[in-house]
Copies of this chain bind each other. A is one copy, B any other.
Amino acid sequence: MVDQSPVDGTYRADGTAPLSKTRSTLTDQIWQQLRNDVLSGRQSPGKRLRLDALKEEYGVGFSTLREALWRLSAEGLVVSNSRKGFQVSPVLRDELIDMTRLRILLEQMALDEAIQNGNDEWEARLLSTFHRLSKYKQTDGQPWDHWHKTFHNDLVWPCRSPVLQQLRNQLHDHSRRYRHAVRNDPNRDDLGEHRALLDACLERNAQKAKALMAQHLQLTTDLVLASFDR
C-alpha cells in the first residue's frame, strides 16, 4: 500500500517533479505521467495501449513503460490482458455505484475521527486550502483537481489512520476517472457544497458534516450516472 499522491504534495502546473537530492527514476516519472493521463481522461477508458505508440508518445524504452504499466495495473487503472498488451481500465456503471457507496462510508468514518481530533492547525489548513480551491473552477482541470483532492484530504487530516487514508485516496482517484467522463453541470454550486462541509467541520458538527459529505458524493455520482444513461 504505497501512498499514491505526488511524493511531496506540491503542485506544479507543468507536472514537473520537484528538484530533490536524488533525482527520481524514469519509471517513476512515466508512471506519474501515465497515471495522470489516465485519471484525467486524456487516455480514455477502454483504450488499447500499444507499446510502440507509447514509446513514441512518452519517449522512453519498453522496460520503463512496462514497469509503469504493471504498476498501474496493480492499482486497477490499467488492465493487462495476458500476452495481448494493456488497456486503460474501462468504466462501468455498476462499479461507480458500488464505489460511491464505499466511499461515503469511509469518508464518514474518517470525518468522525477528524472532527474528534481536530485542532487549530486543522482549521487553519482547511481555510487556507479552501481559499485556494475557490480560485479555480472545475473546468480548469488539473489545478482544480489538485486543490479539490487536497481539500478533501485536509477535511480528514486529523484522522490518524494511514490505512483509512490510503483507501480513501485509492477510491478518490478512481472516481476521478468517472468524474472527468462528463461535462460539469453549470448550475451546480460546487464551491458552496465545499464551503458547507468546511463550516460543519469548524462547528465540529459531525452529524451535519457526514450528511453533507454523503450528499456531495452522491450528487456527483448521480450526475455521472445520468450522463451514462444518455
Contact = CB atoms under 8 A, between A and B. Distances in A.
Interface in A126-178: 161-164, 167, 170-171, 174
A76 B1 contact: yes
Interface in A14-36: 22-25, 27-28
A53 interface: no
A120 interface: no
Contacts of A174: 1
A161 B25 contact: no
Contacts of A66: 63, 67
B73 A2 contact: yes
B102 A167 contact: yes
A26 to B, nearest CB: 11
Given A70-B70, A74-B74, A109-B105, A98 B161 contact: yes
Interface in A24-60: 24-25, 27-28
Contact of A167 (B22, B25, B28, B167): B167
B164 A102 contact: yes
A-side interface size class: 35 or more
B82 A22 contact: yes
B98 A162 contact: yes
Nearest to A27: B70
Interface in A70-119: 70-76, 79, 82-83, 95, 98-99, 101-102, 105, 109
A138 to B, nearest CB: 25
Given A67-B70, A71-B74, A101 B161 contact: yes
Contact of A83 (B25, B62, B167): B25
A28 to B, nearest CB: 7
A169 to B, nearest CB: 12
A22 B81 CA distance: 11
A2 to B, nearest CB: 5
A1 B170 CA distance: 9
10 contacts: A2-B76, A22-B82, A25-B82, A27-B70, A28-B82, A62-B63, A72-B74, A95-B163, A98-B162, A102-B163
In order of increasing CB-CB distance, the 3 nearest A-B pairs are A1-B76, A74-B74, A70-B71
